[in-house]
Structure 1
Amino acid sequence: MKRFTILAAALLMCVATFAQEALWGIGPLVSPEIYDNNTVLFRLRAPKAVKVQITGDFLPKQKVKTPNGEYEIPGIVDLTEGKDGVWEYTTPEPLKPELYSYSFIVDGLRMNDPANIYLIRDVATLTNVFIIGGDRADLYKVNQVPHGTVSRIWYNSPTLGMERRMTVYTPAGYETDGKRYPVFYLLHGMGGDEEAWISLGRTAQILDNLIAQGKAKPMIVVMTNGNASQEAAPGESSLGMMPPSMQLPKTMEGSFEQAFPDVVKFIDKNYRTIKNKSGRAIAGLSMGGFHALHISKQYPDMFNYIGLFSAAILPNKNVVSPIYEDLEGKLRTQFAKKPSLYWIAIGKTDFLYKANEDFRKLLDENGYKYTYYETDEGHIWKNWRIYLSEFAPLLFK
């Protein structure tokens, strides 16, 4: 009987150990492993694999041609198999400070790193992420500074006829200080939603750090869902767990722009805001830049600060909407009212570079003042985080 009790206890200990490993994901591999010199080692245990590769934005870009133009995509490199079926790859050079994303490719199948729990969704793609600290990348980290609050808020849009969700950042102290704050409306790109800027763009971390450093004014940041047919991000609406998609209706045909005053009215009613043009800014990336351009010219008394990040400029030729009529006339009215800042930023290899160049020529020909900021690389979150960290300190001065 004593022997049976000891055996049973041993079995229970084994079961408990395995249960805890399953529960907590404990494993012997470390991946990625960031060395002191900022080289990075990636590991994957795959003893039956024939070929293991890694793709990520820390690798040299590859150019691909599509019917819609030439694009850059992250490079791909092979891992080397070592002992016990563990495959490894070490970056040949130290990585510069940045937030990086990556995935493994095992015998042609893309997969995430099981040793790295940190993932970000971009539309329908999940990728692992890690941060190399230092320089600007320290803005993307959670540091020991006062932290703002991030809320998911539902509001009613009479124009669209539905309840919709947005993400709102309020700065540290908002809940207790009784002050009124300026508002920065920050818009996502095609396929994104109200989660994009807060997760991929690191908005809360960037604003917390800039405000704590005295480089940006404390402000409310409102991140809307720019897809006018959606209540909220996939999985967060009454539609349930719908798959994310780039091909959504009512994105760039005027509905979102027409309904945007609903957002501003809700924020001004429910938050302590500065309820005039001097206390409002709007900016967005790609499709969000398109929205920012057309919303700001449609309502020229609403925003004093405008930012176009890698913006789409003109609507599809088949789109007919009063929002997009008389572009030059509406720009004339907008600039006659002298916005404090009109800021345009884009990467040198962005597929929208030519459209932005043409738009800047139009502004130049009419003597409209704007600020231009150019970076390397293309249509990527690395650039949009840079633009946010450069644009926010210019607001509400």
Structure 2
Amino acid sequence: MVVLSAFTLWSALVALEASASVTIRKTGRAPTGYEVDFRYVNTTAKRVIIGGGIQPFTDQFHTTGTSFRFNGRYDPRDYQPGDFYVSNPSPQLPAEPAYKWPYEMNSTDDGVWTYTAPLPSGIYSFAYLVNCNYAPNCSIDTGHLVVDPDLRPFMNVQGDQVASSFQVPFDAQFQASPELNTNFDYALDAPDPARNRGTVKTVNYTSPGSLHPAPDVHDFGLYLPAEYGRVPAKKYPLLYLSHGAGGNGADWENLGRMSHIVDNLIRLGHIPPTVVVTPSFYNLDAAGGKFVYGNKSANASVPVPTAQHVRENFEKYLFPWVEEHYDVCREATCRAFAGLSMGGVLTYEMFVNATDKFDYFGMFSPATNAPYIGAADVARNPGLLKKGIMVAYGLYDFVFPQARDLQTALDGLGIRYVNRVTPFGSHYWNTWQDELWWFGVKVLWKKTPSTVQTGRERKGE
């Protein structure tokens, strides 16, 4: 069982006194003003590279929206202001000397592996690839993919996540660019922890038929704002935030730092204190097979469940359980659903077929496909015209055509929405962080339906 294998691997690392660390240092010098030091101890490894999420860099002038083979793939040491990373299928290493992966660790005789690079503002997820050159071919249960043992990911049970993450601050002296704003400081820790930082945890709930993490038990990530529990009888707005294909409910926190973003949205007055639930849409029942992050061979045969199937299950089990156990709003006016990629498809499903349950919908990099709703659907369900909606995707996102097709369909029906095209965005977490942030700033809990003025109202109006 993969969970046991992952736990065994972690135990072995501890027994061998393996250790690792990531240190972010403010340097006050070019190229980024910050350096990141990786240190990993493994006395038997022959080669260690850093992969599993961390990417090389490019810029707007050497990247196309049609083929990521034609981007800069710059080493971070060659960073220039305005550079950003895009999610691209890196060559199966070694593909050298034509292309050399920049994140290669160096070792000493005592098995200490190190790597230092200047990195600009942003979220970085990573794992150590041990004697393995290409992350999709490296397995956690064989020891070829190692999650940082001292920077453990946010997850429900061992094996549910296969990468650690960290956030680098912005330095205006070295990173500011007239071409592009790549400041992601809204995902850093909010100041004044007692006042501004909510709590985040995983929760298991009763869901008959669920396969994971236990029979008839399913899971979600939960964010409670800092003031939760301090105001008697208060009911809080509720946002459901879905992962995408190949993910789970811990992704938004582990890979996207959702709690930090929401803390700062609340602190800066963009949204009121809000409860966030990040559910998992795999393993709801035996229909599609069991999906566990760390088990690559088994996951290959597990299909993405249909959006209709997920919606029906959530309506039957998840939504009532959350309402029963937490002080959350039960009206559509203070409930929202959003998601990335296939989670964007699920959001569209909720918009069309659970219209009366939510007044706000965030479709981030939506992997939707025709047929879309038509005039007859709007006539039967006029509530579709009254919602707060964001359609968002990256300029270098492979779902760009699909997202535009969705917009065309909504335009043809007179359904208004707010659009965000992330100018540095691919199908990756820097894009989805950006989209969650702007969803909170421009749409969430604002006046409905969305109009050309949505997100532009002056405070107090």
Query: TM-score normalized by structure 1?
Result: 0.74
- 1:382 and 2:407 equivalent? no
C-alpha distance in 2 between matches for 1:383 and 1:144: 27
- 1:267 and 2:322 equivalent? yes
Q: Residue 116 of structure 1 contacts residue 128 of structure 1 at CA under 8 Å; is this kept in 2?
A: no
Q: Residue 100 of structure 1 contacts residue 130 of structure 1 at CA under 8 Å; is this kept in 2?
A: yes
Matches within 5 A, 1:75-154: 76-77=101-102, 79=104, 81=106, 84=109, 88-91=114-117, 94-108=118-132, 111=144, 117-120=150-153, 126-134=162-170, 135-141=183-189, 143-145=191-193, 146=195, 147-151=197-201, 152-154=203-205
Matches within 5 A, 1:386-397: 386-393=434-441, 394-397=443-446
For 1:300, which of 328, 345, 355 is the aligned residue?
A: 355
The answer to which of 99-108 and 167-176 deviates more is 99-108
Shift of 1:278: 0.8
Corresponding residue of 2:258: 203
For 2:277, which of 211, 222, 226 is the aligned residue?
A: 222
Query: Would the alpha carbon gap of residues 192 and 335 (structure 1) be closer, same or farther in structure 2, given more than 3 Å must change?
Result: farther
Query: Would the alpha carbon gap of residues 175 and 42 (structure 1) be closer, same or farther in structure 2, given more than 3 Å must change?
Result: closer
Percent of pairs with identical residues: 24
C-alpha distance in 2 between matches for 1:78 and 1:139: 24
Q: Residue 378 of structure 2 contacts residue 384 of structure 2 at CA under 8 Å; is this kept in 1?
A: no
Q: Which has the higher strand share?
A: 1
Tell me the SS of whatever aligns to 2:184: helix
Query: Would the alpha carbon gap of residues 63 and 127 (structure 1) be closer, same or farther in structure 2, given more than 3 Å must change?
Result: same
Shift of 1:365: 2.3
The residue type paired with residue 34 of structure 1 is: R
For 1:251, which of 305, 323, 347 is the aligned residue?
A: 305
Corresponding residue of 1:4: none
Shift of 1:169: 2.2
C-alpha distance in 2 between matches for 1:50 and 1:273: 52
Q: Residue 355 of structure 2 contacts residue 383 of structure 2 at CA under 8 Å; is this kept in 1?
A: no
The residue type paired with residue 213 of structure 1 is: L
C-alpha distance in 2 between matches for 1:63 and 1:242: 24
Query: Would the alpha carbon gap of residues 225 and 343 (structure 1) be closer, same or farther in structure 2, given more than 3 Å must change?
Result: same
- 1:72 and 2:88 equivalent? yes
The residue type paired with residue 395 of structure 1 is: L
Matches within 5 A, 1:6-17: none
C-alpha distance in 1 between matches for 2:14 and 2:46: 27
Q: Deviations over 1:106-127 (max 9, x none)?
A: 5435656787621448987623
Query: Would the alpha carbon gap of residues 348 and 325 (structure 1) be closer, same or farther in structure 2, given more than 3 Å must change?
Result: closer
Q: Deviations over 1:377-397 (max 9, x none)?
A: 311122112211221233213
C-alpha distance in 2 between matches for 1:169 and 1:155: 19
Query: Would the alpha carbon gap of residues 341 and 42 (structure 1) be closer, same or farther in structure 2, given more than 3 Å must change?
Result: same
The residue type paired with residue 349 of structure 2 is: H
For 2:56, which of 56, 59, 68 is the aligned residue?
A: 59
Q: Residue 287 of structure 1 contacts residue 311 of structure 1 at CA under 8 Å; is this kept in 2?
A: yes
C-alpha distance in 1 between matches for 2:271 and 2:427: 25
Query: Would the alpha carbon gap of residues 388 and 281 (structure 1) be closer, same or farther in structure 2, given more than 3 Å must change?
Result: same
Q: Which runs of 5+ in 1 are unaligned?
A: 1-20, 66-70, 316-323
Q: Which runs of 5+ in 2 are unaligned?
A: 1-12, 28-32, 59-66, 71-86, 92-100, 139-143, 171-182, 447-461
Corresponding residue of 2:74: none
C-alpha distance in 2 between matches for 1:103 and 1:382: 17
Tell me the SS of whatever aligns to 1:313: coil
Query: Would the alpha carbon gap of residues 214 and 329 (structure 1) be closer, same or farther in structure 2, given more than 3 Å must change?
Result: same
- Count how many residue pairs are aligned between Structure 1 and Structure 2: 357
Tell me the SS of whatever aligns to 2:408: helix
Shift of 1:235: 7.5
Corresponding residue of 2:408: 361
The answer to which of 187-196 and 163-172 deviates more is 163-172
Tell me the SS of whatever aligns to 1:184: strand
Q: Deviations over 1:75-125 (max 9, x none)?
A: 82264757647655443xx42211212344454356567876214489876
Shift of 1:51: 5.2
Corresponding residue of 1:343: 390
Corresponding residue of 1:320: none
C-alpha distance in 2 between matches for 1:89 and 1:244: 33
Query: Would the alpha carbon gap of residues 39 and 58 (structure 1) be closer, same or farther in structure 2, given more than 3 Å must change?
Result: farther
Shift of 1:74: 5.2
Matches within 5 A, 1:294-333: 294-314=349-369, 329-330=376-377, 333=380
- 1:34 and 2:34 equivalent? no
Shift of 1:228: 5.7
Tell me the SS of whatever aligns to 1:141: coil
Query: Would the alpha carbon gap of residues 331 and 297 (structure 1) be closer, same or farther in structure 2, given more than 3 Å must change?
Result: farther
Tell me the SS of whatever aligns to 1:338: helix
The residue type paired with residue 130 of structure 1 is: F
Shift of 1:294: 0.9
